[in-house]
Structure 1
């Protein structure tokens, strides 16, 4: 494990300044966009800088840069890694530099989301580096420590449900051929460029796995959360060419996604009472089979 200092606004800016010096960028006037799992800065020039929490993520961060450069070579519309020697390791944190797509995040229409996912699934895997195999439950297992922030009964319920979903997942017969997947494909990860063209962002979870993983969130957002209309979902299905909700395994993947979203929020619950209350509400709706329409976005 690394001995990197905690990622605060102060330490993140220190890493930013040193990383910019190393690659020849100018941190003057940099604006902190977000401080979460990463610190994200927007430079005065059209560049986004991401500073990771610690150097233990260097393998994943390196792969993100490799994926971006592979997609650029393929002519695929995704976020571009700046043409500098990166990632940059500074004081136990990893910084990466990205070409800014736009000044504000405007999400693409659903037909463009579906088209970009379809185009991605048409690509052959890269030849000069290896994408990992998708291991969704290994990812959940790595986050189970956040259950310590929950009531014991809620934590026990989620552990048991994860075990049930894992068993059922292992028996699934996926109708689509496996291949390159984004791993977190949804409308929130397709934004419009300054020219109004759709661009895929957030390359953290690229893998080789069942393509159904890139379809389930759009279905879930429509069917359970009401974040997409029926017309929008039907457009998504028509453009992509497959309706995941017609497959019996959909409910297992949807259940997984609900738990994944809840575990992410549980990580904030220890220090944020609003997040803790939202987690309790989510767990109760999963336990009772109640509506998810009142889940608040975080």
Structure 2
């Protein structure tokens, strides 16, 4: 699940990603083998040769983002932090304006960690001192001030205009929120979907695309949003998350505003993909209607 208001363009397709991956595998001198698409969104994620994971970034994604992922993964591995391990090759590999990174597979299948383990991983991450030279960007969930607003060709014009207006609002309001927790290294897209269980039963943090420096509340807001608005976590699960992490972001004065922003980020990312299928377009339209009208969000689908 990606989180930023900008996402992969609709021209980023599986055939394109497979062509890029084939070249990158050869350049990295990695074994060829069966290639299985796991998912495609902001990245195309493949399982290759059974025990490796390849992430092919879209042509619009900066090479610097892939380079950052490798730096962060190697820093966290040196700290014995439970993070996805970058394969020991020279990477990222760039081909056709796409950056490709290679990772050790966490497990043969996909099992998400219990919510208490998710909280423990986030808490431990937030306790780590950030080393000099890691060169993390400042988080800008909606892009820098003055940047062009994303287009949404798959939406009805009034929905696209509404979403652009909300992105502009969030871009201006986010830096002014009265954050309570210290600034520091954050995952940037922390949620249960990005903490997997490895073959030994331990939680492992994945998906380092959005890693940045910023307010720690940003790493807590998705779990709170999933529990309070979307119904994707139960009350008892959220209580466990708060107990383990040690802070309840829903009690912070800026919670409702930040939750609104997170909804916009989630919906904007999905809306960029509205041209891909009628189901995606319907889901994006439903979300925009619910946000616009203040309707319940409990029927939102997970993407």
**Same fold by TM-score, threshold 0.5 exceeded?**
yes
Stretches of 4+ aligned residues off by more than 6 angstroms: 139-143
State the alpha-carbon separation in 1 of the partners of residues 60 and 270 from structure 2.
23
Q: CA–CA distance in 1 between the matches of 2:159 and 2:145?
A: 16
Please say which of residues 27-36 and 263-272 is displaced more in the overlay: 27-36
Residue by residue over 1:240-276, the C-alpha shift from the partner in whole angstroms, topping out at 9 and shown as x without a partner, is: 0111000110111111111111111111212422211
Tell whether the 8 Å contact from 2:144 to 2:171 is kept in structure 1 after alignment. Answer: no
User: What residue number does 1:116 align with?
Assistant: 121
1:32-71 equivalences under 5 Å are: 32-54=37-59, 57-71=62-76
Per-residue CA deviation, residues 8-55 of structure 1 (Å, 9 max, x unaligned), is 444433332322222221122222223333222212241111122227
Gaps of 5+ in 1: 1-5
Tell me if the contact between 1:112 and 1:198 (Cα under 8 Å) persists in the aligned partners.
Answer: yes
* 1:125 paired to 2:125: no
Contact residue 77 and residue 83 of structure 2 kept, 8 A? yes
Of the three residues 200, 208, 214, the one matched with 1:209 is 214
Greater shift in the superposed pair: 122-131 or 214-223: 122-131
Residue in 1 that maps onto 2:152: 147
2:278 maps to which of 273, 276, 281? 273
Using a 3 Å threshold, how does the CA distance of structure 1 residues 8 and 174 change in structure 2: closer, same or farther? closer
> Which of 260, 265, 276 is equivalent to 2:265?
260
1:55–1:94: 8 Å Cα contact kept in structure 2?
Answer: no
Where does residue 246 of structure 2 map in the other structure?
241
Q: Write the deviation string for residues 41-73 of structure 1: whole angstroms up to 9, x where unpaired.
A: 212241111122227521100110111000001
Equivalent position to 1:222, from 198, 215, 227: 227
User: What is the CA-CA distance between 1:139 and the residue it aligns to?
Assistant: 6.7
Change (3 A) 1:165 1:49: closer
- Structure-1 separation of matches of 2:177 and 2:81: 31
TM-score when scaled to structure 2? 0.90
Q: What SS does the aligned partner of 1:61 have? A: helix
RMSD, matched Cα: 2.0
Whole-Å separation in 1 of the counterparts to 2:269 and 2:60: 21
Give the equivalent residue in structure 2 for 1:3: none
Structure 2 residue runs without a partner (length 5+): 1-10
Q: Any conservation in 2 of the 1:134–1:207 contact (CA below 8 Å)?
A: yes
Equivalence for 1:76 = 81
Structure 1 residues 167 and 37, CA, compared in 2 at 3 Å: closer, same or farther? closer
Structure number with larger C-alpha Rg: 1
Q: Distance in 1 between matches of 2:14 and 2:160?
A: 31
Instruction: Classify 1:271/1:90 alpha carbon distance in 2 versus 1 (closer, same or farther; 3 Å).
Output: closer
For 1:193 and 1:11, locate their aligned partners in 2 and report how far apart those are by CA, in whole Å.
Answer: 30
- What is the rounded CA distance, in whole Å, between the counterparts of 2:145 and 2:41 in structure 1? 19
Structure richer in helix, relative to its length: 1
1:21 to 1, 5, 26: 26
User: Using the alignment, how far apart are the partners of 1:81 and 1:105 within structure 2?
Assistant: 18
1:187, CA displacement in angstroms?
Answer: 0.6
For 1:196 and 1:218, how far apart are their aligned partners in 2?
22
Q: Which residue among 195, 199, 203 is the counterpart of 2:200?
A: 195
Q: C-alpha separation between the residues in 1 aligned to 2:194 and 2:147?
A: 23
Matched length: 293
